[in-house]
Amino acid sequence: MTLEEIADFIGINCQEKKEITGLNTLLDSNENELTFLENKKYLSDLKNTKAAAVLVTSENASEVPSGTIALICDEPYLNLARISKLFAPNVVEMDGEKPLIGGGTKVMPNVYIGKNSIVGSDCTIMAGSFIGDNVKIGNNTIIYPNVTIYRDCTIGNDCIIHAGTVIGSDGFGFANTKDGKYIKIYQNGNVTIGNDVEIGANCAIDRAVFKSTIIEDGVRLDNLVHIAHNCKIGRGSILVGQVGLAGSTILNAYVVMGGQSGTAGHLEIAPFTTIAARGGVTKSITEPKKSWAGFPLFEHKQWLKLQGKISNLLK
Amino acid sequence: MTLEEIADFIGINCQEKKEITGLNTLLDSNENELTFLENKKYLSDLKNTKAAAVLVTSENASEVPSGTIALICDEPYLNLARISKLFAPNVVEMDGEKPLIGGGTKVMPNVYIGKNSIVGSDCTIMAGSFIGDNVKIGNNTIIYPNVTIYRDCTIGNDCIIHAGTVIGSDGFGFANTKDGKYIKIYQNGNVTIGNDVEIGANCAIDRAVFKSTIIEDGVRLDNLVHIAHNCKIGRGSILVGQVGLAGSTILNAYVVMGGQSGTAGHLEIAPFTTIAARGGVTKSITEPKKSWAGFPLFEHKQWLKLQGKISNLLK
Amino acid sequence: MTLEEIADFIGINCQEKKEITGLNTLLDSNENELTFLENKKYLSDLKNTKAAAVLVTSENASEVPSGTIALICDEPYLNLARISKLFAPNVVEMDGEKPLIGGGTKVMPNVYIGKNSIVGSDCTIMAGSFIGDNVKIGNNTIIYPNVTIYRDCTIGNDCIIHAGTVIGSDGFGFANTKDGKYIKIYQNGNVTIGNDVEIGANCAIDRAVFKSTIIEDGVRLDNLVHIAHNCKIGRGSILVGQVGLAGSTILNAYVVMGGQSGTAGHLEIAPFTTIAARGGVTKSITEPKKSWAGFPLFEHKQWLKLQGKISNLLK
């Protein structure tokens, strides 16, 4: 789709015929992608963008670097939402290649495997599971019953996905219009899961808005865990039952999160951090190998001490 | 079923042949419905009921209005539970009309659609989903894989229901016998979902005990959200991941609830209220457009201030 | 499998040909089972074990009772994990008897029922559900759509399992190697559910590592409840939406847990205890019939008083 067509779709004028292949963030965009600036906090990213074009208000247009075309509009984020639909793939592909299934793989009854999908060897895909279009699954992986894997996701070797889990559902993204309507930001990324990952029952792992939600090698998720879009769960991390991560949370390697704990979005947690059960993380944790607890969060020992002080109020 | 038959079923005497069409609350019952009074708190409602009959203790029988028949019994709520079974529809209908599927709608393999159900045009019903009997789905709605929609529920136009979500499961209702047995209160209501609603993965939305659990137009639910029976989620409200609402909670329009927040039951939240992540609402919020946080709940600024005071205890 | 073969598998020497039938805890093992001691806290259990053999470090070998063979190794727990795979049954049985389905039971389309499974009379098994191998379901039980019941689990009479619920998924168990790899402890136990149990939508109930996760008669679980491996939920207990129990929690009879409450593992809660919504239980509760709230947990009245004191900090 050309930049001219995109501009036309949102009612602004631009005669560039440049072909745009997708949407992305300021810093991750390549020279064929379109990006946006809504929040001035990211002005420094704008200066470093390599994007073909950027949706931007007139106020910030002067900051657009010379190699990037400014698409000037009042509500860049809302227009990004509108445009995202143009890049959304089909919900279900009707055309394409039949799935390729490796040797030794058992596919039970009532399984659907979509177009262009590839399942490796020695896997077990149990009854009632759904494998969308263009999914790649490695070797020796077990998909338990009634699992749903949305299109374009990838899963490595030696993984176990327990029943009812959903991988690749849409991230929770939308822009507001002034009259209170929500415009969906189509989640055109995917979920990428490494090797030797085990995921419990009835979890929900959202696909990225751009690029990938990433679960690295060796991760263990318990039941009913919620992973929002664009999170990255580092190698060997352990998330106990009912943990919830908001969007774009980065857990570095070997983070442990106790049951019912959670994070706010857009933060990063240092390697080998432990969050106690019910802990709520609202800021990045930069120092590795420490233990934290509570909400608001304190170092675990401090939290225990604080609870002692609080209970003294009863005396 | 006649009032005489119902009375006979619970072992009390009443010779009225009046036909009873269902059960309902004191205030919502019409002149063909049966209601009950267990808790004296609702005596004023009893005086205003239009019900055909009311299950009531002898102590409160004198308060039953003249147009309503008193069915006097020791345990009105327990008897209501017993009677609710008489009004429960079949779990699965064997007879009835084949479903009607609109033009342009794709129904994937391994989908079950029940008797008398109607799916509009240009919908996508993905593999493994279950659409119960007497369900109505509007136009241009996407039902992702392995979704379950129980009988009698309705979903509007332009909705998206993500994988694994359950709509219309039984509300959590039962009465105790004196010897510790629970008698199920059959949940004979439904769930009604408006237009332009998006619901995340692996949510659970219970059907009403009477009438409807209501999700109004434009609502957005994230993943793993729990909505109990008889809640009403007002237009444009946003519930982030792992929110839980207890029974009969009313959210007015444009309420935002952060991740892992929750409410007690039978309360009402004013329009444009924001509840921060993890907030726990135990009383109605009457003033609109305010932000709240914590458990117990405080105005957000007060909560932040309070957390400062609490952390001072460590000094 | 003989003890010699098992020892050989983990690279230690033992020439005993004794047949080992399974793995178990120190106290529960019978004379044909293998057990382990990792944590010195359980030394007194070691002295009382009746196991055929025990994985134990050289340091503790002298404490092994005379009827039990010591398999001396550096990392008993890690070796137990490795050995657990030897006792894991097939993920899916290809051979075995066709399931037996009782009279009056309806099995809807797109249901899978495994080998050697038995479903009683007058049940309803709804579309998209999965009943694994060697499962036993009693009479008059309803399995709603898209439920998954893993192999070897048992469900009693008059139960209702709502849509999307998973019963018998693997408990969250693994041992660490020194280089940060997790070795799965195969969960070779099951889930046993009594009579007259109702379980809400999208719950997850894990199978035991050894023996059974137990849900006794009359229990009621709401939606999105997480029950970890080896829990026991006593008769008549009620768990409201989004409750989470960590492993080996024992609830005695008639415990009530409010919404979003939780427990740490390996603790016991006295009969007729009430935990308020959001309460977090970290120690055993020994006195019956009391009410508790908060995290950390206090007696409910004390917790209310404490919240008053805390809010006074704002003055």
In sequence order, the 6+-apart residues with CB closer than 8 A to the CB of A20 are: A1, A2, A3, A6, A32, A33, A34, A52, A53
At C76 the pLDDT is: 97
Closest to B157 in 3D by CA, of B191, B131, B126, B123: B123
At A304 the pLDDT is: 98
Instruction: Say if the Cβ atoms of A150 and B142 lie within 8 Å.
Output: no
pLDDT tier, A12 (very low <50, low <70, confident <90, very high otherwise): very high
pLDDT tier, B19 (very low <50, low <70, confident <90, very high otherwise): very high
At C302 the pLDDT is: 98
Chain C residue with CA closest to A107: the answer is C92
Sheet containing C124-125: give its strands across.
Answer: C106-107, C124-125, C142-143, C160-161, C198-199, C220-221, C238-239, C256-257, C274-275, C291-293, C298-299
Superfamily of domain B100-303: Hexapeptide repeat proteins (2.160.10.10)
Torsion of CA A149, A155, A161, A164, to 10 degrees: -10
CA–CA dist A293, B84 (Å, integer): 46
Can you tell me the mean pLDDT for A31-36? 98
Q: What radius of gyration do chain A's Cα atoms show?
A: 22
| Residue from A202, A243, A307 whose CB has the most chain C CBs within 10 Å, to mutate | A202
Identify residue B66 by its one-letter amino acid code. Answer: S
Chain A residue with CA closest to B146: the answer is A146
The distance of B85 to chain C (nearest Cα, Å) reads 14
CA–CA dist B213, A88 (Å, integer): 32
C-beta neighbour count of B181 within 10 angstroms:
14
Q: C touches which chains (3+ CB pairs under 8 A)?
A: A, B
CA–CA dist A252, A291 (Å, integer): 14
At C309 the pLDDT is: 98
Consecutive sets of 10 residues in chain C, 315 residues long: mean pLDDT of each? 96 95 97 96 96 97 96 97 97 97 98 98 98 98 98 98 98 96 98 98 98 98 98 98 98 98 97 98 98 98 98 95
Of B164, B307, B313, the CB nearest to A309: B313
At A53 the pLDDT is: 98
DSSP A121: S
**3-class SS string, A184-195:** ECCCCCEEEECC
pLDDT tens string A127-165: 999 999 999 999 999 999 999 999 999 999 999 999 999
pLDDT tens string A248-290: 999 999 999 999 999 999 999 999 999 999 999 999 999 999 9
Can you tell me the mean pLDDT for A28-52? 96
- What Cα–Cα distance (Å) separates residue B52 from each residue in B13, B70, B87, C275? 16, 9, 16, 39
At B140 the pLDDT is: 98
Identify residue A108 by its one-letter amino acid code. Answer: M
Superfamily of domain A3-87: MurE/MurF, N-terminal domain (3.40.1390.10)
Q: Percentage of residues in chain A with pLDDT exceeding 70?
A: 100
The distance of B46 to chain A (nearest Cα, Å) reads 40
Active site residue A229: yes
C-beta neighbour count of C244 within 10 angstroms:
29
Residue spans per domain, chain A: 3-87, 100-303
At C182 the pLDDT is: 98
CA–CA dist B101, B106 (Å, integer): 9
At A114 the pLDDT is: 98
Can you tell me the mean pLDDT for B185-202? 98
At A284 the pLDDT is: 98
Selecting among A162, A226, A229, A266, the annotated active-site residue is A229
At C188 the pLDDT is: 97
Can you tell me the mean pLDDT for A180-192? 98
Closest to A239 in 3D by CA, of A217, A223, A216: A223
The answer to whether the CB of A224 falls within 8 A of the CB of A202 is: yes
